[in-house]
Amino acid sequence: MTLLIRNGHVIDPANAIDEVCDVWIEDGRIAGLGEFSGTASETIDASGQYVCPGLIDMHVHLREPGQEWKEDIESGSRAAIAGGVTTFCCMPNTQPRLDHAGVLLQVIDRARQVGLCHVHPIAAVSRNLEGKELTEMRELARAGAVAFSDDGMPIWHAGVMRKALEYASSFGFMVIQHAEDLELTSGGCMNEGWMSTQLGVTGMPAEGEDSMVARDIMLARRADARYHVAHISTAGAVALVRRAQAEGLKVTAEAAPHHFSLTEEEVMHFNADAKMSPPLRTEEDRKAILEGLRDGSISVIATDHAPHHEDDKRCGLSCAAFGIVGLETMLPVSLELASNNVITMSDLIAKMTINPARLLNLDSGTLSEGRAADICIFDAEKRWTLDRSKLFSRSRNTPWHGRELTGQVTHTIKGGRVVFRNGTIHD
């Protein structure tokens, strides 16, 4: 049984491969790259398309358990493979929280049953995400947690953050921070600035993120801890991360596609589908994130996929829930970075494959021989218009509805099995 992907432009950053060749798969594993000369039982003609490792999204909110009407593990997995994502990490702000091994195991078990994606939980730093007492990180890690975060909420109090960084780093665990000083952002629903002033709504100043990142870096320095900034959104935070890395600290950052492609202008006319936390910022911030992606300060692209039911969005900007879905738009939106020559295609793919894999010690993100055959094939030129009613996610909250995107996933292969092909899921 050989599955052959013929004549695609193969990008495998981990192995510095960036050339047109064949990829063949046997028994669910990568069997070889190069010129295939045997007999294949199935062939995918990838001429004119890119072939890369299945994408990894290290920042996804599944709503299971607790809010399955917004998204569950199955619908989230379907959205993921439709977006070329074969591995993702789910955040702990479910109900109940992922702050106990039992819940974690339940999620992992459910994801295995669904079987479309590799799902790795990120467990809570503090019990019930309250920012007071630490979770049992060692046990959570044994149960499968790949990192720790209170995402959705910051680890707000400096004392707790210090202990969290010290404790986690004692065992090599990484802490992911949703950097937001709630004292500065409370009541806010968008970036604070000219746009929020015109709309007459409470803003969330960039300083809310900057000051939290600055504080955390100081604490991470003292603790010699691994600290990762989730969904970085401000020029100030990017500069802080860059400086920390220059200093040799174990500080990393991820950026979400909406933060490097859109600005606060999207919120004009009170568009609740452009409301997320951290909010869309200014053009200056957007450019700083592009620069961070270019110079490597930001090593990962992750979506912060945050599904919400329409009822939670249709209630006026100030009342609407924070967040947008992102799994199905991650690749086309990010491809702009390559087409605009911000970074090379190989660097771009790295930020969605091998870089997060290395950060989280995942056994994926490459096309090395013998690895599980998780592969994404996409047409980088294909233009299409996003219709939110056609999303595989259970939720529809996207700012890209009705917009033309360039680049579309044609095939997603997980463990050698074609799970998504030309718009259709094969479970």
Partner 1 sequence: MMKLQHLFGIADLDKEQIEYLLNLGESLIDVSRRPIRKAPTLRGKTIINLFFENSTRTRTSFEIAGKRLSADVINISASTSATKKGESLLDTGQTLAAMRPHVLVVRHSISGTCQFLSEYLEGTSIVNAGDGSHEHPTQILTDLLTLRQAGGYENKVITIVGDIAHSRVGRSHLLAATLMGYRVRLVAPKTLLPAEVERYGCEISHDFDAAIPGSDVLYMLRVQTERLTDNCSFPSIREYHEAYGLNRKRLAAAGKGCLVMHPGPMNRGVEIASDVADSASARILEQVEHGVAIRMAVLTALCGDTGGEG
Catalytically active residues, by annotation: 304
CA distance 320 to 421: 35
Question: 307: closest CA among 402, 390, 394?
Answer: 394
Name the residue among 92, 79, 70, 83 with its Cα closest to residue 307. Answer: 70
CB 202 within 8 A of CB 196: yes
Query: How far is Cα 81 from Cα 424, in angstroms, rounded to an integer?
Result: 10
Q: Which helix (H) or strand (E) holds 164?
A: helix 158-170
Distance CA 136, CA 87 (A): 25
Peptide bond into 65 cis (omega under 30): yes
Q: Which residues contact 322 (CB under 8 A, 6 or more apart)?
A: 275, 276, 277, 306
- Residue numbers of the site for partner 1 (CB under 8 A)? 192-194, 196-201, 203, 205, 269-270, 311, 314-319
- Give CA angle at 283 (310, 303), nearest 5°: 45
Cβ nearer to partner 1, comparing 189 with 212: 189
Kindly report the number of other CB atoms within 10 A of residue 426's CB atom: 11
Nearer to partner 1 (CB atom), residue 169 or residue 263: 263
Q: Output the smallest distance, CB 195 to partner 1, in A.
A: 9
Q: Is 214 helix (H, G, I), strand (E, B) or coil?
A: helix
